[in-house]
Structure 1
Amino acid sequence: MKTIINNGQVLNVHTSQYEKKNIVIESDKITGLADSPVTGEKGDVVIDAAGKYIIPGLIDAHVHITSATVDLATPQLPITYTTCCAAKNLADALLRGFTTMRDVGGADFGLAMAVNNGMVKGSRLFYCGRALSQTGGHGDFRAMTYDGEYGAPMQSSATTIGQIADGVTEVRRACRSELRKNASFIKIMAAGGVASPDDRLTDTQFSGEELTAIYEEAQAKSTYIAAHVLSPKAIQICLKYGVRSIEHGNLLDEETAVMMKEKGAYLIPTIITYDALARRGADYQFPEESIKKLGSVRVQALEAVKIARRHGIKIGFGTDLLGPLWEEQINEFTLRSTIEKPIDTIISATKINAEVLNQSGNLGEISEQAFADILILGKDPLKEITAITDNRNIQVIMKAGTIYKNTL
């Protein structure tokens, strides 16, 4: 049995232009792109997309699907509860049009298995397992009053997102442990952050020896490093030691942008999380010290994207929302639309993010032998980004050939 989509305007993410193509889908893949409408056989599903706009399924390259609270220092929650939250986040994201997500701290092989086996109807999942943090780093949410044995559990909700590893031996072991569990990449907390109230945004984290060891472990498994980092100094250190994707990068400057371009690194902005936390964080017990940190990074997040565009850096798309703020995921498009054309953001959330995932040709495009991840829209998203942000306009959502929404 085939699924056929006729008469739609299909976005070619390589040319940024529409092409009138007719799509043939068998099982989970696109098997044909015809110039003329395709006649189905008995049992085939035929969709007439005349007057509609067809784009690839969206990819969010920076999520934490197990985050159940905004304040990660909240006492550790039951794993059963966080798993239920993760299942809901996966399902909700799919119905917003995100057919794939990259989890940068929290998800594991069990959640990916649940999606792949159809136990959870949600976005396709790539994951790093638990991110690496040094003692006192962005991933260390232990209370300052805690002075237990080294390596003891963090006893906070951040436990699922990160782990503490100090010294070459420990970071090697942590990398190997996550890669043994089929992690797609390694995530490190390489600098201070907003959510961790006890460090500064300008802090750099991990030594050169530790970063070298992490890079060697990633290379041994033919994968890459993603780094939480905001300041120019910390970004430059990360680039020196082979980090491939810069997560957030809010304080990016011109000099550092030149270095990013030379190294071929990706920038994954997460503008909506800072905006949402500034507006709503206090309602969900986000620490006061963390709220104070939001001022400069919230404003500079948009400027960083402008700088990266000027220097030709490849820019992906991420959201980084926590707990109840997950509902604002699609609003990253709204914020990005204030500084760039809709096509630029769409390419970030499709073609570029597929590159970040090492999935070019499989995801983020509508082409033969790519996975059939497809959105059919009633309005043209290249003219107005609300064609994506207004869920009523997303009339068909398909992931791997399965239709999860159809209002045509």
Structure 2
Amino acid sequence: MNASLLLRNARLLDPADGGYVEGDIRCADGRIVEIGTGLTAPDVRTEDVRGAVVLPGLIDAHVHVTALTADLSSLPSLAPSYVAAHSARIMGQMLDRGFTTVRDAAGADHGLADAQAEGLVRGPRLLFCGRALSQTGGHGDGRSRGSNRHDDHPCCAGLGRIADGVDAVRTAARDELRKGAHHIKVMASGGVASPTDRIDSTQYSVEELRAIVEEAEAANRYVAAHAYTARAVNRALEVGIRSIEHGNLLDDRSVELFRERNAFLVPTLVTYWALKAEGREFGLPEPSWRKVDEVLGAGLAALERAARGGVELVYGTDLLGGMHRHQKHEFRLRAEVQQPLDVIRSATSVAAELVNMPGEIGTLRPGAHADLLVLDGDPLADIGVLVEPEHLRHVVQGGAIV
């Protein structure tokens, strides 16, 4: 979508600058081209927003757009066409909430990304990794203890692929990169939704993790790692993994490593809140639901430790099934620890740095994609302005009000 638009009399908030500027913003051919006062653009759609706040479109750096249910192990048994239809619905609803770019953390593929880019699917720009890499019995292995058969056919829906050993993980990483992966996702610890592992386990050897990082870096891409415990987080950071997903049980050494390695933390507090309250209703198996308590209480403390230690924090939600509707509640949870501007930066400028698109998204500067939100209210005074739908006047994507 490459449209032209002029928004007049706005309070412009570029998160990197951190303050409001009164003025107009002109977009042409899908990009921001000019900010100033008294701007004109004949024959271009013009909206006088009369003091509303304009900020960059939001970025959610940890979603699963194919997760139509919390029973992730059931996805490979569903028709890919059925999963794609649900994914289109989920993506459209994300756009309606103001998320104009999302980073999918396993499940989405080049087909969905291309469909969105071509306008066939209404939704945010989709940065995908394909399938997450998992060891046998790891967080991406959906088999029960009594199942020996694993259908890993690329035509099946699903979030993970199993690869064991250095040669196998190199092949798997190269295959996802061949299909256009924006990043590689690896399961470096146990998780909630997997049936046979422990949350406190580490997964993959250091040699396997290092091989995955080498393959991503060779392709000028990076690795994101699912990891909960400090032991899992720290070994992932030590081998060069760029972003840690969740990190609920990190420690002071983790904070040091994040800073030393210029790495990013993507907490996902809202998913544990939602899984505890609604997980079983939306398909989360009982054994997985019982695991939630192991990470639920620790998430906010980890966020506070990381924020205090100067870690680069990025907005992520990790919601599944009918719980996607809580995507913006993460703003409220983070505001218990962080200032509103820092939370907004996590979903704009800092997220753009993580996904290697600084200056392209998450900013109002000329040359960036014209992805914008128009809000009635001041999110720096009350983060709830970003959460409550009645404050969202317009979502702009590629210069078009959508």
**Most deviating of 386-395 and 88-97:** 386-395
Aligned 8 A contact 1:141 1:158 in 2: no
* Aligned: 1:112 with 2:113: yes
Aligned 8 A contact 1:73 1:158 in 2: no
| Pick aligned residue for 1:337 from 335, 338, 345 | 335
Q: Distance in 2 between matches of 1:65 and 1:284?
A: 15
Post-superposition shift, 1:78? 1.1
Equivalence for 1:64: 64
Equivalence for 2:93: 92
Q: Distance in 1 between matches of 2:288 and 2:190?
A: 11
Residues 299 and 131 of structure 1: CA distance in aligned 2, closer, same or farther (over 3 Å): same
Equivalence for 1:368: 366
Q: Distance in 2 between matches of 1:200 and 1:142?
A: 14
Which SS does the other structure have where 2:35 is aligned? strand
Equivalence for 1:244: 242
| Pick aligned residue for 2:262 from 255, 261, 264 | 264
TM-score (norm 2): 0.96
Superposed, which structure 2 residues align to 1:122-141 within 5 Å? 122-141=123-142
Which SS does the other structure have where 1:80 is aligned? helix
Q: List per-residue Cα deviations over 1:89-126 (Å, max 9, x = no partner).
A: 11000000000000010111110111011011111100
Post-superposition shift, 1:2? 3.8
| Pick aligned residue for 1:11 from 2, 10, 13 | 13
Superposed, which structure 2 residues align to 1:2-401 within 5 Å? 2-34=4-36, 36-41=37-42, 43-74=43-74, 76-148=77-149, 152-153=150-151, 160-401=158-399
Amino acid corresponding to residue 49 of structure 1 in structure 2: V
Q: Distance in 2 between matches of 1:285 and 1:114?
A: 28
Post-superposition shift, 1:266? 0.2
Residues 72 and 286 of structure 1: CA distance in aligned 2, closer, same or farther (over 3 Å): same
Q: Distance in 1 between matches of 2:5 and 2:81?
A: 37
Amino acid corresponding to residue 311 of structure 2 in structure 1: I
Aligned 8 A contact 2:246 2:268 in 1: yes
Post-superposition shift, 1:39? 2.2
Structure 1 runs of 4+ with >3 Å offset:
none
Q: List per-residue Cα deviations over 1:168-214 (Å, max 9, x = no partner).
A: 11111111111111110110001001111321111001112211211
- Residue ranges of structure 2 left out of the alignment (5+ in a row): none
Aligned 8 A contact 2:133 2:186 in 1: yes
Q: Distance in 1 between matches of 2:180 and 2:304?
A: 35
Q: Distance in 1 between matches of 2:83 and 2:283?
A: 18
Which SS does the other structure have where 1:217 is aligned? helix
Post-superposition shift, 1:15? 2.0
Amino acid corresponding to residue 318 of structure 2 in structure 1: D
Q: List per-residue Cα deviations over 1:235-270 (Å, max 9, x = no partner).
A: 111011110000000111222211211111100010
TM-score (norm 1): 0.95
Post-superposition shift, 1:347? 0.5
Which SS does the other structure have where 1:249 is aligned? strand
Q: Distance in 1 between matches of 2:378 and 2:255?
A: 32
Q: Distance in 2 between matches of 1:378 and 1:30?
A: 21
Aligned 8 A contact 2:223 2:241 in 1: yes
Amino acid corresponding to residue 129 of structure 1 in structure 2: G
Aligned 8 A contact 1:108 1:128 in 2: yes
- Residue ranges of structure 1 left out of the alignment (5+ in a row): none
Number of equivalences: 399
Aligned 8 A contact 1:115 1:125 in 2: yes
Amino acid corresponding to residue 32 of structure 2 in structure 1: I
Q: Distance in 2 between matches of 1:208 and 1:335?
A: 34
Which SS does the other structure have where 2:62 is aligned? strand
Aligned 8 A contact 1:30 1:368 in 2: yes
Post-superposition shift, 1:19? 1.1
Post-superposition shift, 1:158? 9.3
